């Protein structure tokens, strides 16, 4: 069943996928049940994040193709080479006067980290993951969200970053997304925020606008990887231009005035986040959602002040950053998630990401959360454990800004190596945390952290490893 080697477009070879697959099979808490077990493409679904996934009628490779897909895609081999070039040379490293290698140690996973006025208890963070679970479609989080986030707080995560939270109804990825566009939503978030904070974890929220990737289906309403029809609660999406993403419905190009209006929506949502008690804000500038649609040279062909040159393409995200920074206190950390490359020839790449990170920092961003892909359709992504870490490391080093690493980080020692090697200041554990909310407690045990120093809730100490 698990033949991933069909005319491989991914990473030039199926070996990598097989390796990843074996890793997944070996994962201690993996639940081999239900449709995934029967579905030959479930792994690709997992790899490609769940917010969009091609239907089961496509081949394994075209599933990847479809997820990130584009007509302007760079070749697969070249993307693999990009990754290869970014790997740190084994020969490098600091040496003492006698020429012997000096062990340079970055932070331990369980060291706290301070960003502005917020000290986060460790460097294992929950990344934003859309749960598509607002069945009332009113943008208000539910008891499910309480359980989901508070249990990860009890599980020992340092920072819980709440899923993509829309700044307007049209900014949702799906009709079942959460939001912060009205005050009822503030009230609904408050008890969740309070619940997480009581566990000793910190909690931030990812504010986003889906742009042309909005109004898509999800597990509860269907239309997976497609637009939800208007008569079923979908909406006319908006974008940097009127060109659609993949098979989605065409967006309407935003007017210059409307772009400014969305800047204000981000500011207002940030103020609501503060009022709900969130301790950090992350802007969703990755995966082809609105901010990244404006940043990407392949997508943003606008002719007004928000399109064209790098400076013009950066105008919208920087205005959003300025507006949000102004709305929140000086002690509150502001982060931004970016896709460090769109994996497409002539598109957004690492160099632009480094330049952007420098600008973000100047404008008051405290940490860049480094992901990749999802911006243009038709590309191939060389997915493997740590595949995005080299991008974090480069941005950290060249833009001199704190970063997180994310993507296929599943094992405690693997995670610990990333912070120890100064490739990132914190790591994010996504899908592995969906199957194991107590991942950090298990990691503490594996890394030999004494129980009294591990992030156990008092009530749970008697059950410690």
Active site (catalytic) residues: 289
For the CB of residue 415, give the shortest distance to ligand FMN in the complex, in Å.
Answer: 10
235, 183, 185: which is closest to 211 by C-alpha?
A: 235
Residues in contact with ligand FMN by the rule CB under 6 A: 49-51, 127-130, 163-164, 206, 284, 286-287, 337, 371, 406-409, 429-432
CB closer to ligand FMN out of 129 and 441? 129
Tokens matching residue 163 = 């899923």
CB closer to ligand FMN out of 286 and 443? 286
Within the chain, how many helices (H) and strands (E) appear? Answer: 15, 14
Angle between helices 310-327 and 256-276 (to 10 degrees): 30
Separation CA 172–CA 218 (nearest Å): 12
For the CB of residue 66, give the shortest distance to ligand FMN in the complex, in Å.
Answer: 17
44, 76, 406, 383: which is closest to 225 by C-alpha?
A: 44
For the CB of residue 163, give the shortest distance to ligand FMN in the complex, in Å.
Answer: 4
CB closer to ligand FMN out of 80 and 177? 177
What is the dihedral angle through the alpha carbons of 135, 201, 335, 170, rounded to the nearest 10 degrees?
Answer: 10
Rounded to a whole number, what is the distance in angstroms from the first to the last CA of the chain?
Answer: 37
Q: What's the 3-state SS for 399-459?
A: HCCCEEECCCCCCHHHHHHHHHCCCCCEEECCHHHHHCCCHHHHHHHHCCCCHHHCCCCHH
Q: Assess contact for 363 and 321: CB atoms under 8 A.
A: yes
Nearest residue by C-beta to ligand FMN? 430
Report the SS3 class of residue 134.
coil
Separation CA 225–CA 232 (nearest Å): 15
For the CB of residue 420, give the shortest distance to ligand FMN in the complex, in Å.
Answer: 19
CB closer to ligand FMN out of 65 and 125? 125
CB closer to ligand FMN out of 47 and 302? 47
CB closer to ligand FMN out of 168 and 206? 206
For the CB of residue 414, give the shortest distance to ligand FMN in the complex, in Å.
Answer: 11
Residue 259's H or E segment, with its range, is helix 256-276
CB closer to ligand FMN out of 47 and 307? 47
Q: Assess contact for 418 and 30: CB atoms under 8 A.
A: no
| DSSP secondary structure letters along 56-119 | TTS-HHHHHHHHH--TTPPPHHHHHHHHHHHSPPSS-S-B-TTSPBP------TTS-EEETTEE
Separation CA 415–CA 427 (nearest Å): 6
Residue 267's H or E segment, with its range, is helix 256-276
């Amino acid at each position: 069943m698990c033949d991933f080697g069909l005319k491989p477009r991914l990473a030039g070879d199926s070996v990598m996928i097989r390796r990843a697959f074996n890793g997944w099979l070996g994962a201690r808490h993996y639940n081999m049940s239900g449709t995934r077990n029967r579905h030959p493409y479930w792994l690709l679904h997992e790899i490609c994040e769940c917010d969009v996934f091609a239907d089961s009628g496509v081949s394994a490779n075209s599933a990847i193709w479809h997820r990130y897909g584009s007509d302007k895609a760079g070749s697969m081999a070249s993307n693999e080479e990009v990754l290869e070039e970014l790997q740190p040379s084994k020969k490098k490293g600091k040496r003492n006067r006698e020429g012997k290698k000096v062990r340079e140690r970055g932070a331990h996973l369980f060291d706290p980290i301070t960003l502005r006025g917020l000290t986060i208890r460790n460097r294992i963070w929950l990344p934003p993951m859309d749960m598509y679970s607002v069945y009332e479609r009113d943008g208000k989080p539910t008891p499910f969200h309480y359980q989901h986030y508070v249990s990860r707080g009890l599980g020992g995560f340092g920072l819980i970053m709440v899923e993509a939270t829309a700044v307007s109804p049209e900014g949702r990825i799906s009709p079942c997304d959460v939001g912060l566009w009205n005050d009822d939503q503030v009230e609904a978030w408050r008890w969740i925020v309070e619940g997480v904070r009581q566990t000793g974890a910190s909690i931030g929220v990812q504010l986003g606008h889906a742009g042309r990737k909005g109004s898509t289906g999800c597990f509860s309403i269907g239309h997976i990887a497609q637009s939800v029809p208007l008569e079923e609660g979908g909406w006319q999406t908006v974008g940097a231009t009127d060109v659609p993403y993949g098979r989605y419905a065409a967006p309407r190009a935003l007017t210059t005035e409307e772009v400014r209006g969305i800047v204000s929506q981000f500011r207002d949502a940030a103020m609501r986040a503060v009022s709900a008690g969130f301790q950090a804000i992350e802007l969703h500038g990755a995966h082809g959602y609105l901010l990244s649609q404006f940043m990407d040279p392949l997508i943003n062909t606008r002719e007004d002040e928000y399109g064209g040159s790098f400076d013009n393409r950066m105008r919208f995200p920087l205005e959003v950053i300025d507006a949000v920074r102004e709305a929140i206190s000086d002690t509150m950390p502001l982060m931004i998630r970016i896709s460090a490359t769109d994996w497409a020839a002539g598109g957004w790449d690492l160099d632009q990401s480094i330049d952007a990170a420098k600008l973000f920092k100047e404008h008051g961003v405290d940490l860049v959360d480094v992901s990749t892909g999802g911006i243009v359709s038709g590309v191939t992504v060389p997915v493997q454990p740590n595949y995005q870490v080299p991008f974090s490391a480069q941005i950290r080093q060249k833009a001199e800004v704190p970063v997180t690493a994310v993507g296929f980080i599943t094992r405690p020692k693997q995670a610990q190596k990333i912070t120890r090697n100064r490739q990132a200041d914190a790591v994010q554990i996504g899908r592995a945390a969906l199957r194991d909310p107590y991942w950090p407690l298990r990691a503490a045990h594996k890394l030999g952290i004494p129980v009294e120093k591990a992030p156990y809730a008092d009530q749970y100490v008697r059950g410690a490893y």
